[in-house]
Amino acid sequence: MPTTARWAATLTLTATAVCGPLLGSAHAAPSLGPSGLYAPSALVLTMGHGNSAATVTPERAVTLNCAPTASGTHPAATQACAELRGAGGDLDALTVRDGAVCTKQFDPVVVTVDGVWQGKRVSYERTFANECVKNSYGMTVFTF
């Protein structure tokens, strides 16, 4: 192999090895099979300070796709999808973690989750006493 070809091969392999893991799931384009091989799971999660989604301005909003692969702007998409699957998609099943420590300060935050989970529409709202309490429920889903 001439030197230039070796260089080219080396650089290509390097790029693949370096980029492959980084590109990962975020670039796996979900596409429904001809007979609907999987049901779509795509959600938007928001959080804002206040008592009720009806009056709260969303301060943060992230997306979470769980089919066919995990992706989205949720900071822990893969773990959040696994957690939701483990809970059978039941957001109320995400309960406070053992050992979580938060103050009792009342500064309520509202989380909303809208979209589709395994082909079924989701429209969910839950209020926590403060942001620390929000993050103490479940492992990753509400931590964004």
Residues that bind a copy of itself (CB under 8 A): 11, 14-15, 18-19, 22-23, 26-27, 29-30, 32, 36, 40-44, 46, 53, 57-65, 71-73, 75, 114-116, 119-121, 123
The residue among 36 and 99 lying less far from a copy of itself, judged by its C-beta, is 36
The residue among 10 and 95 lying less far from a copy of itself, judged by its C-beta, is 10
Compute the least distance from the CB of residue 62 to a copy of itself, in Å: 6
The residue among 65 and 136 lying less far from a copy of itself, judged by its C-beta, is 65
- Six-digit token pair at 115? 């979209």
Compute the least distance from the CB of residue 60 to a copy of itself, in Å: 6
DSSP state string for the chain: --HHHHHHHHHHHHHHHHHHHHHGGGG------TT-SS---EEEEEEEESS-TTTPPPSEEEEEE-SSS-BSSSTTHHHHHHHHHHTTT-GGG--BPTT---------EEEEEEEEETTEEEEEEEEESSHHHHHTBSSSTT--
The residue among 97 and 120 lying less far from a copy of itself, judged by its C-beta, is 120
Compute the least distance from the CB of residue 3 to a copy of itself, in Å: 13
